[in-house]
Amino acid sequence: MALEQAAFFSTRSFMAEMFNDALYYLQEGEAAEYEFAQYRFYRSAIINFCASAEAAVSKIVHNHLRQNEDSLEHYDIDLLKSLNDFNAPPPKSFRTIRSKITTVERLLNQKFTKKN
C-alpha cells in the first residue's frame, strides 16, 4: 500500500498539487469562523499559489530547453541539467523569481516586465 501511494505521488504534477492545495486552503479560510484560522489558511493558500506558479515557470523553462537542446549555450546546458536532477542546486542565475522571469524572457525573446 505504501509503495502504491508513493508511486501515485511521484507521478502527479507538483504544480497541480500545489495549486489544488491552495484552492483547498482558500476554501478553508473562507469557511473559518475565527480570524486567526482565516489568516492561517489564507497564508497557506498564498504560499501554495506562489509555489505552483514557480513550478510552472520552471516547467516552461525546462520544456523550452529540451525542445532546443541542440543549440543551447553552456549556461543553459547547466540549467537543464539542474532541472533534470532534483538533487542538483539550481545555477545562481535561476534562484530568484526575478532571475527566473529574466530567464524566461531571454529564452522566449519576449519582455514581461518593465524596466524601472
C-alpha cell, 112: 514581461
Q: What percent of the chain has pLDDT over 90?
A: 49
First-to-final CA distance of the chain: 54
Average pLDDT over residues 78-99: 89
Rounded CA gap, 35 and 108, in Å?
Answer: 43
Place of cell 508513493: 6
Query: Model pTM?
Result: 0.74
Does 43 have pLDDT greater than 70?
A: yes
- Report the alpha-carbon distance of residue 66 to residue 53 in Å, rounded: 20
24 belongs to a structural domain: yes
Q: What is the pLDDT of residue 115?
A: 63
**Most confidently modeled range among 18-27, 70-79, 85-94, 107-116:** 18-27
- Residue 19's domain comprises 2-108
Is 11's pLDDT higher than 50? no
Q: Is residue 78 part of a domain?
A: yes
Q: In total, how many domains does the chain have?
A: 1
Cell, residue 68: 532546443
The 10 Å Cβ neighbour count of residue 39 is 12
